[in-house]
Structure formats: structure tokens, C-alpha cells
Structure 1
Amino acid sequence: MPAGRPRARSRGVQPRAAGPPPGRPRAPRSRWPAGPTAAGGRLRPGGHDPRRRDPEALRTLAGRNEARRGLPPRDGGERPRRAMNLLALALLFSPQQAAPPTATPPATIGEERPLFGGVASGPATAGILELTLDGAIERGLQRNLALLLAQQRIRAARGARWEALSDLLPHLSLYLSETRQKINLEAFGFTGLPGFNLPPLVGPFNVFDARAQLTETLLSLEALEKTRAEKARIDAARFSYQDLRDLIVLVSGSLYLQAVAEQSRIDAARAQLETARALHELAVDRKKAGLVPSVDVLRAEVERAAREQQTILAETRFAKAKLALARAIGLPLGQQFHLADRVTYSPGPVLSLDDALKTAYESRADWKAAQARLRAAESARRSAADQWLPTLEVRGDYGAIGATVGGARVTYTLGAAVRVSVFDGGKRIGKVLQADAALEAERMALEDLRGRVRYEVEAAALDVKAAQDRVGVAERAVALAKEELTQAQDRFRAGVANNIDVVEAQEALASATETYISSLYDHNVAKAAMARALGVAEATYKQLLRGE
């Protein structure tokens, strides 16, 4: 009888539960079942009540129990998230800061990162598309949303440069007018002369005027530096676009590799399911022959059900991985495709730290973009300081004016002007302060990027080395697990052991296979992240992922 529950009286009569004292509310009944407590149904001082177990501890305990049975975790598993850690590291420092990526892009456009979005390239085609790794990356470089948006940012930067350049280029306009008017001379101060009687109103009369007007700034250091700043911003936008191309190679390739890994998990889960079915059939036959107890049959049925559930989850994850891939590379909506490539193991690159850093600083487009942004900030700072300097401009017009078109006479105006701003209420000081702050921010960002490049290169090298070692260990673990399963099956068939050893060996093989698949995926993503850290992802992904 659980502790804390009143004992029954004689003759099977249960006592009435004592209510709370007057004025004291009844304590809510716990939703946890009664558990063992100290004597008298109460905890000793400093004791632990298992009914109030922390929910996080319960979830951890449930996960351990499921892991012992070979079931995947209830939350979809830590493995998919762990497999994306290397990709998240590379995306964390991308030009568009956002939350770490997941295997499946968010459903809401306003919440998703453009890196995981794509613009569909037309209607879906009939049949199944054979999608290779090269094809996926090429489609991503053409239809990924982040890259298309970067192209528009380059266009916007070009427009801003033309707008700044207009302050230095000539402004030419044509003017044509035909006016009929009547003028009040008294309004202009003509009240008449002694001896002359001028009418107060003149007209109506016609005025025709046609002319070309030209204005050009000959000297303006402010406008010149502003134009240079916009030119540097164009360079920064172009380098950012190139940096995004490397990032799209990493994203598209990683999503393709993840889909391949999920497909491998399906194959492994189906093979384990067939083994579990064979084990169940063998247990049933031996039970009919009276060689094993019923518990062996039940144990085999539980193992088969666990493998069926694992297969269903693997198929679901594979379908979602394909959806994420199709979304990122801009496949037509509803397009059916098959993964044509199975990326195998190939060793990673071997570079010294000095050579890797030299390659990174020479090749990384984000480093070049940061330098271009610094040049733009320096020009903007000089432009703000040059507001105190005079500007020189010329203007003129040439045309014909008269009462009629036929009676128009040629007239023109030529002039030059020097303009010096003396006081503008502090506007110039404000612009200088803003430009100076922006310049210091770009300098600090460049120094931060210098350290970040070194960190990413070193971290990527460590990831490649660790993943490569894990693949070797995982291969040996799979071979040992297969041998263990074979021996356990032989012992069960020979009747010298029950099927507990077989079930445990099958679970060990499933765990070793999953570890190998995850290690191989992590190794390939680590190599892609290394190429991204070096700034050569687009140029070298075939050599890294295919071993060419």
C-alpha cells in the first residue's frame, strides 16, 4: 500500500478523510501517483519526494529508456540539430544576422532567413528529376532568394552612385512656354510720371519663350568625396554578393548532404526492420516447438515495433529534408526529384595554419567587402568635413522670346557663382559627428572580422580533423556491431541463449550505424565549412566533397 494513505479499519470500513481545519483551504490533489515516503506518509527533513520530480529530469529519464529500447527521441532527436552545428557556425557570421539555421526553413516568410528561401523557376515538369549535388548547387546559385536580393542591392548601390554623381555632372533642361497676361503697373511701383498719363493696366499681351538651360558644378569637394563613397559601396555590395555565393554553396551542399544522410538512415532502418522481423519469426517458430518461453516472442515483437517506428520517423525526416532542399534551391513547386548522388568518404584538405590564413585573407569576399565599406566611410567622413569649403558653379540659358513665335528674338544669359556656407544651424557639425562615428564603427568591424577569420579557419580545421577521426572510429564500431549481432543470432538459433542478447546486439548495431551516418555527414559539412572559411567554397566544392 502506498505510504501516506490511511489504513483500513476492521471489517473493511474505510475512514472518512479528514478535511482541512476551518478557515484553511484544502490543498490541491497532486497529479502524481502516491510514492514511497517516510513513516507516517510525510517526508523526513531534507528528504526527496519522487512525486515532485523535475519535469526536465523526467524527460531525460524517458529519453534514456527509449534509447535503451532503440527508439528515437520524442523531440525528433538531437542528431539532426547536432548535424547542423557546423553549418550554423558558418551562417552565424554571415552578413545577415539571424537565428541559427535548422533543417527545415520556417513556414512564415517574415520569419525565415533568405538563405533558406528560393524563387521557383517555373512550373514543375512531368516525371522525376534526377538531382545531383552539382545540379543542386548550381540551382541554388541561380534561384536562392538571398542571392537574388543581393543582386538588387548591387543595383540599388549603382543608383545611389548615379544620384551622388549628378551633383558633379551638367544639368540640362529645355523650357517652352506660351503666356497671355495683363499686368498692373501700380503693383510694381509705376504710379505715373509728371506730364505723362500712364494707364495702370497694361495688356493683355502674349509672351512666347523657348530656351535651353544649363547648370554645372565646376568645383565641389563635398560632392566629389560623396561620389567616391558611393563607388566604394558598390564594391562592397559586389564583394558581399560573392561572399553570399560561397555561403549558398555551403547551404545548398549541406542541405543536399543532409537529405542523403536521411536517405541512408531510411536504408539502415529498413534493414534493421527486416532483421527484427526475422528475429520475431524465429522466436515464434521456437515457441511453437517449445524451445523458448513466451517472453522471447514478446521481446521480439517489441523490438520489431520499435524498428517500424524508427523507419516511419526516418521516412518523415527524409521527406522534410527534401522539402528544405527544394525550397532553398528554388525548384518548381511540387517538383518530384530523386537524389542521384551518394557522397562517400574522402579525406579533408591538409593545410598549415599560415597557408590557410593567407588564403583566407586573399580570397574571402567578406573581408574585401569590409575593406570597401571602410573606404566608403572614410570618403563619407571627408565629404562631411568638406561642407565648409566653397563650391563653384556656372549657369546659363539660350533661347528666343517674343510676343509670337515668328517675332521671337534670341536672348541668352551666362553667369558663374561661388557659394560658401557660413552658418547652417549646426547641420554640418551633426553630419561630421555621424560620419566620424560610422567610420570608427567600420574600423572596429574590420578588426573584429580579422580575428573572426582566424577563428573560423582554426575552428574549421579542428572540426575536419575531429570528424575525420570519428568516421574511422564509427566504421570500426559498425563492423564490431555486425559481428556481435551475428554471434548473438547464432547462439539464439543454437538454443544456448535467449534473444535478449540478439535484441541488445541489434540496438548496438542501430546505434553504431546512426553514429557512422552522422559522422560522415559531419565530415562532409566540416569540409564545406572549411572551404567557406577559406573563401574558396564555390571554386573547390567538387574537390572537397567528391574527392576530385
Structure 2
Amino acid sequence: MKQARQNSSARRVAAAPSLVRVCLPLLAAGLLGNAARAQTPTQQITGPTRPQPVPLSGRAEPANPVTVLQQTTPAGTPGSVDTLNTTVTVQGPYAGSRPDGTLAPDTLPLTLDAALKMGLRNNLGRLSQDAGVQQAEGQRLAARSALLPNINIGAAEVFSKENLRTAGLKTSLVPPSVVFNYDDLRGLLQQSVLDLVSIHQFHGATEQVKSTVANARNARDLIVLAAGGTYLQLTATRARLDASNAQVEYAKSVFNRARDQYDAGLAAKLDATRAEVQLETEEQRSISLQADLDTQSLRLARIIGLPIGQKFVATDVYGFQPLTGFNLDTALERAMTHRQDLVAAAASMRAAEAGVKAARSERLPSVAIRADAGIAGVAPTQTSLGVYTVQGIVTIPVYNGGRIAGDEKQADAARTQRRAEYEDARAQVDQDVRQAFIQLNAAESQVKLAERNRVLAHESLTQSVDRFVAGVTDTVEVVQAEQAVVQADDEQITALYEHNLAKLSLARAMGAAEETLPQLLRK
């Protein structure tokens, strides 16, 4: 029995070296595997670059945020004519602003030039477009980064406990687990060598920046139209109010004469009552015009960014000056070159074309380099050695389930839409210029006729009052003459406003309104 136990022990001792010879390679393989993981970058080969979807429309804002709407107003009296009635409508961010400056205690005299400068500085439409330019430039830089080297530095300290039983080591001669600890510090480089998707996306982002910059410049023309049109409306309302106040004083003098004649028994009470009603009518008209003037002042203050609560008075008054220096052909030629919304539409179309090229390039191979270099070891100061990895990667698309075809269809739809928007923009520019000349021609003839009617109405009123004082007629004729004067004054003011507003519309239609407007609009 004792001999048998000795033989069994001898067999176990003899078997031990064989077991060690089997386990040690496996253990070494585990150690080497961890060491390899410590010195191998975690980057893996990825699929080809996907292009960013291009928005279907290239227009940055709703259509026509600032519009000039012209209507014909029927004649109010037999002696008057049909008149044009044009209004300036301002919507969206162009109706607001960032208030700027300090509140002045006195009434501020405001010229048109000062109003335009304030609007171009403070209007929310300009600020929004400037933010859009900044955003587009950021997107361009992000697209460019895919073509430039990307370098990062990474540091890691790894603690890892491995279960050796999972490697098939079930003997009691080997511990069931082992703990590893190592440090890794290296710089990582990734560089695209040939990636046509990223190249075309960068070109598209560059064109989008150009489109956004052009939209920002176009916003300045819209602000000139919004602020300038509101300013002209304000001065026209001021002129109507002054004319109405003059008519109040005239009606008051007529009423006083009618009352004196009634008191003296030279006129009927109806004449005095009629004159009194006419006076109250003129006073109410002045009250309505004052309210209209105050409302328009608030609108202009919001458009140009005056301090909240600032009182001001529009000081510039523009008379009638025939248009010189431009005809329809020269205006159209200038507009096709200087209209920034047309420039923006062209750049937006080119951005969509770059998007189509990017989508098609997904089918082509791409080449990239990835590399890292640094040190790795058990501890930062112990057994640290230099390590590096260099990878040259060629990615060839093979099958993607129709995704590339879908990207191409989306990109092609955006290109088709933006081509249509560009052609629409060209037609709109042509229409704007032609419409401005239509308004100019109509307003010019209206100014001349309205001035003759105004002179005739005032002369008729003077004669009617003289006849009433002489007792030849009653207040019916005087009241009718006063109403004709009111109508003639209003038509003359409206005609001047229409003519000057048509010049402003032409400046906007031709583009670069800041520089063009002083050539067209003169006092």
C-alpha cells in the first residue's frame, strides 16, 4: 500500500513539468494579448464618408418681408382724379430692431440719412442675417476640417483583470485570474488623402457662405426700403396734418363770419350750423391724422432702433424732381449685376450642385492615413518604451442597400428646386425694375395734374368765401369749396409721396440701394 502511494506521487511530480510546459505558453499568450491591446490604437476601419443632406430650398427667409403694394383710389369728388395709393408693408424681423443709444429729453430732429444709418445698424433683419453668415462660416470650417489633419493626444492608465478559465485553463496549477496594469501615452493623427465626398461638401459649404453673405447684403437693401418707405409715409402724413390744421383755421374763420352774419340777421341759422359742422369735421380729421402720425412714428422707431420712448420729428421734405440718369434698359442691366438676392440664389444653386457631386462620390474609393506614436509601459517611469502604429486605409464601397441612390435622389431634388428658385429670382428682379418704372411714370403725371388741381381748388375757395362775405351765396358753396381744397391738398401730397416712393422702389430694384438712393431722391 505504501509503495502504491509513492508511485502515485512520483507520477504527479513527473507530470507537473509537462503541465507547466502546456500552461506557460497559454499564459504567455494571454500576457502578450494584453500587451498587444495596450499598444494597438482603438481606431478601426470605418465606412465611407456620407454627405450632409442639402436643404431643399436655398432661400433663407420668407418671401417678400418688405413689400410695396400699389392700389388705385377712386376719385372722391367730381373735380378730382383717380389716385395711386401705395403702402409699405414690413413683416418679420425687419419690423423690429435692437434699441440703441440713450434717451434724449428733447425732441430729436431725424433726417432720412440718419434714419437709414440707424436702421442698417440696429434692424433685427440685419442682425439675423449677420448671425446666419457666422453660422455658415462655422459650417464651412467644419467641412474643411475633414480635409485637414486631425491630431489628438491621448493618455490612459488601464487596470484589467482577466479570467484565465475563459481561455480553457481549468487546472489548479494556474490561478483562475490575473491582473494587468499598464500606461499608454500617444499622439493620434488622422489625415484624409483622397475623399471626394468631403471635397465636394467643402465646395458646397463655401458656396453656401457666399449665398449667406449675399443675403446679408440684400437685407441692407430691404432695410433701406423699409426705413425709407416708412420715413416717406411719415413725412406725407405730416404734410397732410399741416394742411388739415390750415383748413381748421380757415373753417374757423368761415364759421366766425357765418355766426356774425347770423347774429346780425344777414344769414340763416342753417348757414352758421353748416359752417360749424364743417369746422368740427376738419378738427376731427386733424385728430385722426395726428393719431396716424404717432402710429407711424412708433413703426419707424421700431424699424431703426431708436431708444424706447424717444420723441423725434422727421425733418426732410422731398419735392418733385423728375428722374434723370436712368432708363429701363440701364436699370435692368444694373439690377442683374447688383441685386444680391439674385447673387445669393446663384450661389445657393452651385451649393446644391456640389451636393449632387458629393452624393455621387460615395460610390468611389477613399484613402486615409491613421497613425499614432508615444510610449507605453507598466508604469510611466518603469519599462516604458516607444510605440507607434501607422495605417494606410483604402475604403471601397461594395453594397449599401440602396442608400447611395437615395442620397443622390435627395441631392438632385435640392438642385432642381434651387435652379427653379434662381430662375424665379431673375424674373422677380426684372418685374421689380419694370414695376418701379410703371409707378414712376404714373406718379410723375399725377404730380403735375394734382398741383394744377390744388391751385384751382384754393382759388375757388377764395372766391367762394368772398361771395359769401358779400352775401351773394350761402355756406353750401363755401363748404363744398373747402372739401375740394382738402381733396386737392391730399391728392397733391399723395402724388409727391408716390413719386418719391417709386424712386425708392427703383433703388431697391436695382440693388445697392444705399449708394443708389441719393442719386434718385433729392430735395
TMscore range, shorter length: 0.7 to 0.9
Q: Tell me: higher relative CO, structure 1 or 2? Use CA pairs within 8 A at least 6 residues apart.
A: 2
Partners in 2 of 1:512 and 1:414 — Cα distance? 88
- The Cα shift of 1:453 comes to 1.7
Task: Please state if 1:503 is matched with 2:479.
Answer: yes
Q: Secondary structure at the match of 2:85?
A: helix
Partners in 1 of 2:505 and 2:369 — Cα distance? 57
Partners in 1 of 2:176 and 2:145 — Cα distance? 46
Task: Please state if 1:464 is matched with 2:443.
Answer: no
Partner of 2:136: 157
Partner of 2:261: 286
Q: Secondary structure at the match of 1:83?
A: strand
Consecutive unaligned residues in structure 2, runs of 5 or more: 1-72
Cα deviation, 1:320-378, whole Å, max 9, x if unaligned, reads 01000000001111111122222222222453332221111111111111111111111
- The Cα shift of 1:507 comes to 0.3
1:149 partner amino acid: S
Partners in 2 of 1:486 and 1:458 — Cα distance? 42
1:236 partner amino acid: S
Larger Rg: 2
1:234-245 alignment runs, 5 A limit: 234-245=209-220
Specify which of 143, 150, 167 is matched with residue 171 of structure 1: 150
Partner of 1:72: none
Specify which of 214, 219, 229 is matched with residue 204 of structure 2: 229
Q: Which moved more, 1:291-300 or 1:451-460?
A: 451-460
Cα deviation, 1:393-436, whole Å, max 9, x if unaligned, reads 00011111111111221111011111122222222111110111
Partner of 2:85: 82
Specify which of 142, 147, 161 is matched with residue 182 of structure 1: 161
Partner of 2:390: 414
| Equivalences, count | 447
Partner of 2:463: 487
Partners in 1 of 2:161 and 2:430 — Cα distance? 79
Q: Which moved more, 1:422-431 or 1:242-251?
A: 422-431
Partner of 1:262: 237
Specify which of 276, 286, 291 is matched with residue 311 of structure 1: 286
1:94-493 alignment runs, 5 A limit: 101=89, 112-187=91-166, 189=167, 191=169, 197-203=173-179, 205-407=180-382, 408-493=384-469
Q: Secondary structure at the match of 2:490?
A: helix
Q: Secondary structure at the match of 2:174?
A: coil
- The Cα shift of 1:214 comes to 0.8
Partners in 2 of 1:141 and 1:265 — Cα distance? 28
Cα deviation, 1:26-76, whole Å, max 9, x if unaligned, reads xxxxxxxxxxxxxxxxxxxxxxxxxxxxxxxxxxxxx99xx67xxxxxxxx
- C-alpha change, 1:349 and 1:370, in structure 2 (3 Å) is farther
Partners in 1 of 2:439 and 2:306 — Cα distance? 31
Partner of 1:94: none
Task: Please state if 1:535 is matched with 2:511.
Answer: yes
Partner of 2:59: none
Partners in 2 of 1:455 and 1:122 — Cα distance? 39
Cα deviation, 1:378-400, whole Å, max 9, x if unaligned, reads 11111111110111000011111
2:145 partner amino acid: S
Identity %: 36
1:341 partner amino acid: D
Q: TM-score, normalised by structure 2?
A: 0.82
Q: Which moved more, 1:316-325 or 1:121-130?
A: 121-130
Partners in 1 of 2:181 and 2:86 — Cα distance? 83
Partners in 2 of 1:435 and 1:182 — Cα distance? 51
Partner of 2:3: none
Partners in 1 of 2:445 and 2:190 — Cα distance? 71
Partners in 2 of 1:541 and 1:299 — Cα distance? 48
Partners in 2 of 1:150 and 1:206 — Cα distance? 55
Q: Secondary structure at the match of 1:395?
A: strand
Partner of 1:96: none
Q: Secondary structure at the match of 1:351?
A: coil
2:301 partner amino acid: A
Partners in 2 of 1:271 and 1:502 — Cα distance? 15
2:397 partner amino acid: S
2:127 partner amino acid: L
Q: Secondary structure at the match of 2:160?
A: strand
Partners in 2 of 1:493 and 1:126 — Cα distance? 48
2:242 partner amino acid: D
1:338 partner amino acid: V
Cα deviation, 1:261-301, whole Å, max 9, x if unaligned, reads 11111101100000111010000001111111110001001
- The Cα shift of 1:190 comes to 5.0
Cα deviation, 1:235-275, whole Å, max 9, x if unaligned, reads 00011111111111111111111111111111011000001
Partners in 2 of 1:444 and 1:292 — Cα distance? 74
- The Cα shift of 1:443 comes to 1.4
- The Cα shift of 1:192 comes to 7.1
- The Cα shift of 1:200 comes to 2.7
- The Cα shift of 1:122 comes to 4.2
Q: Secondary structure at the match of 2:508?
A: helix
Q: Secondary structure at the match of 2:153?
A: strand
Q: Which moved more, 1:242-251 or 1:228-237?
A: 242-251
Partners in 2 of 1:262 and 1:351 — Cα distance? 29
